[in-house]
Amino acid sequence: MKTLYLLIFTLTSFPSFSQYKYTIEGKFNTDLFGDTDNYSIRDGDLIYLKFLSSPKTDTARVKNKSFRFEGESSKPEITMLSVSLQHLGKGPAFGNLLLLDNCHYDISYKQTSDKFKRVFYDDKISTNSKFYHLWETIGIKKEDYLSKENELKELLESPINTQNKSLFEKELTEVRKALDELYKNAAQEYSGTYEMTYLLPTDPNFNYERYIAFYNELPEYIRKSYYGEKFYQRLILTKPEHN
């Protein structure tokens, strides 16, 4: 079984910027099948950067197996980076969620395949984005706790003696408490931010009573933003009289 651990946030508080500047650089390694393979990324293929909070989509073309985006925003941004096979007349084929603040991203895509010789690209992301690292930290710990919870539930459903059952039930209680505190602590640490307004709805225990106070304490400009509106929509769906 995995060892239960508590979340310790090492990220500093999110600064308040009037303008966020970001750069994204990507490279493709197509050594496995070579440049002539139909599913190898080629110069001229399009890369899309779609902003989820607006209709905006930026594009860049692959050149020398590389691409680059550079820009500014008045707030942190949730974006989807998509790679197209333009030379085959196809649209987006694969990509990544990128969370933008004052940051730089280096992304490498390495060609790989399965036993059927189908082409895939393994990605490696390196970034100094605090938004991305907070999302990643919470996401990894959440999945670890949920995996541990399911493991313990399966053990409790199997034939076990009374002593072991008591131990497993106690450990299950601890795991659920740790998952609960993961989001509760994050909500307190990063209250009043775009970032946490986006991340809190991923809480398995997300509900109106738990987070209406967080919403009410948000600055008005966040409540009126894409982040705040989506957050409130989720809240209303969990409001007791709505169900």
Is residue 235 pLDDT above 50, yes or no? yes
Is residue 115 pLDDT above 80, yes or no? yes
148 three-class SS: helix
* 71: number of Cβ within 10 Å: 16
Q: Strand ranges (DSSP E) for the chain?
A: 20-29, 46-51, 57-61, 66-73, 77-84, 92-100, 103-113, 119-127
pLDDT at 242: 61
Is residue 6 pLDDT above 70, yes or no? no
Q: What is the pLDDT of residues 209-222, one digit of tens each?
A: 999 999 999 999 99
- Which region among 35-49, 131-145, 181-195 has the lowest average model confidence (pLDDT)? 35-49
Q: Report the C-alpha gap between 214 and 217 in whole angstroms.
A: 5
pLDDT over 70, % of the chain = 92
Give the model's confidence band at 91: pLDDT under 50 very low, under 70 low, under 90 confident, else very high.
confident
pLDDT at 20: 94
86 versus 4: the higher-pLDDT residue is 86
Q: What is the pLDDT of residues 63-81, one digit of tens each?
A: 999 999 999 999 999 999 9
CATH match of 21-128 with 2.60.40: yes
pLDDT at 3: 43
Quote the mean pLDDT of the chain. Answer: 89
**What kind and span of H or E run contains 208?**
helix 208-216
Radius of gyration of the chain (CA): 22
6 contacts 44 by C-beta, under 8 angstroms: no
pLDDT over 90, % of the chain = 72
Give the model's confidence band at 15: pLDDT under 50 very low, under 70 low, under 90 confident, else very high.
low
The values of phi and psi at residue 71, to 5°, are: -170, -175
Q: What is the number of alpha carbons within 13 Å of residue 232 lying toward its C-beta?
A: 13
Domain ranges of the chain: 21-128, 132-242
